[in-house]
Homo-oligomer: A and B are copies of this chain.
Amino acid sequence: MRVGAKSITIRDVAHEAMVGVGTVSRVLNSGAHVSRATTERVEAAIRRLGFRPNAQARRLLRPHSEIVCFLLSNRDFPHTFHARILQGVENYARSIRQHVIFAAVHYDAGTSPERIPLPPILQERGMVDGLILAGTVYANFLHRIQQMEIPFVAFGNNVMKYEGQRNFDQVSYDAFPGEREATLYTIGQGHRLIAFGGDVSYPWMRVRNEAYLAAMRERNLNPIAFTAPKPALSNLEYGDWLASRALARKPRPTAMIAGNDEVAFGFWRSLRRRGLRIPEDMSLVGFDDREEATLMDPPLTTVRVRKEEVGQACMKMLLERLHHPSMAYSERLLATELVVRETVKGLSRSSATGSAEKERRLPARRKTTANVELPAEG
């Protein structure tokens, strides 16, 4: 705060404690090779002078800055999804005494890599040890990052990559098991006419659709897929559109597997407005398990993605990469899981066992009650 005041350096401390600067440095860091008495004298001097080491000078000599950058591209936080990932990153980072710079970047899929603006700090060397990429990653952005020669880990689900791309580290969630489980569960509840709704021009929607298709195929059921791309529509509006399509279909589906929670929400609202109820008139399953899923009435049965764990895994993987720079690139896949709440109606058993199904009882997931919340924000 005091402007003109020369700040206290390690030399001042050394003088005050009547030792050499090397000794002070040793006390500050390892503490090894310094006698107990000297250590105490130095510590007393530090306290007396209110000395705090200069962060920049320290890092100038160290191989690592212990700072990573969480780089969010082309996203805002209105969807809590990425905020939760950031939280997971910070949480784990803190536990291992690392720090996180949060930066956002906005770019166009068409611009050449060199023109994509990056935080000034990334142009320099040595400030951040590595990068965690979240948000949509197109090829040009990926190139830009790779040119920087900074170790990085990407949250893989929003990377526009070709099948099985493995030339960088990534953490993704695997929508397949969760979505398959959800579909099988719905079948198990006696449904036969089960629709899937989601714009498959998004790669992440495609996986969910495939899981749905696989589950239907397993049970010898005919899929009913509403997967048309609707670029102009928001998720909510997509849910709206889905409702009109589903209701118009003959025979009408008894259940809808929505591509994500927001689509499910739009669907649910649309039905309500037509005087139809969920799950009485139609069952509904979401994907993501956003907070709002528990707020819906009745609470939404959905597939959970553990967002904090994704963040934690990213941070962990980046650290491994930093420690072992020549390690082979890998992708870590986190499982997803069904969360049974109350939007899938159990149909009567009579017509249920059409196919020769063993009625494989899925391990009944815990029914989540209303989440316990911290005191409200302002």
Q: Let me know if A202 and B375 touch, CB within 8 A.
A: yes
Q: Does A112 contact B (CB under 8 A)?
A: no
Chain B residues with CB under 8 A of A79: 376-377
Contact partner of A94 (CB less than 8 A), chosen from B103, B202, B373, B374, is: B103
Q: Whole-angstrom distance from the CB of A30 to the nearest CB of chain B?
A: 15
Q: Let me know if B378 and A204 touch, CB within 8 A.
A: yes
Q: Does A149 contact B (CB under 8 A)?
A: yes
Q: What CA separation (Å) do A366 and B290 show in the bound complex?
A: 28
Interface of A (DSSP majority class): mixed
Q: Does A222 contact B (CB under 8 A)?
A: no
Contacts of A141-163 to chain B: CB distance below 8 A = 149, 151, 157-158
Q: Does A49 contact B (CB under 8 A)?
A: no
Q: Let me know if B120 and A97 touch, CB within 8 A.
A: yes
Copies of this chain held together in the complex: 2
Chain B residues with CB under 8 A of A59: 56
Q: Whole-angstrom distance from the CB of A325 to the nearest CB of chain B?
A: 6
Q: Does A173 contact B (CB under 8 A)?
A: yes
Q: Whole-angstrom distance from the CB of A107 to the nearest CB of chain B?
A: 13
Q: Does A291 contact B (CB under 8 A)?
A: yes
Asked, given contacts A79-B376, A202-B376, A372-B234, whether A54 binds B124 with beta carbons under 8 Å apart, the answer is yes
Q: Let me know if B80 and A80 touch, CB within 8 A.
A: yes
Contact partner of A235 (CB less than 8 A), chosen from B3, B80, B373, is: B373
Q: Let me know if A77 and B81 touch, CB within 8 A.
A: no
Q: Which residue of B lies closest to A273 (CB)?
A: B297
Chain B residues with CB under 8 A of A169: none
Sorted nearest first, the 6 A-B pairs with minimum C-beta distance are A157-B378, A55-B127, A55-B124, A81-B377, A83-B83, A234-B373
Residues in chain A within 8 A of chain B (CB atoms): 1, 3, 7, 52-60, 65-67, 70, 74-84, 86-87, 90-91, 94, 97, 99-104, 119-121, 123-127, 136, 149, 151, 157-158, 173, 175, 202, 204, 234-237, 259-260, 262-263, 265, 269, 272-273, 288, 291-292, 295, 297, 305, 325, 370-378
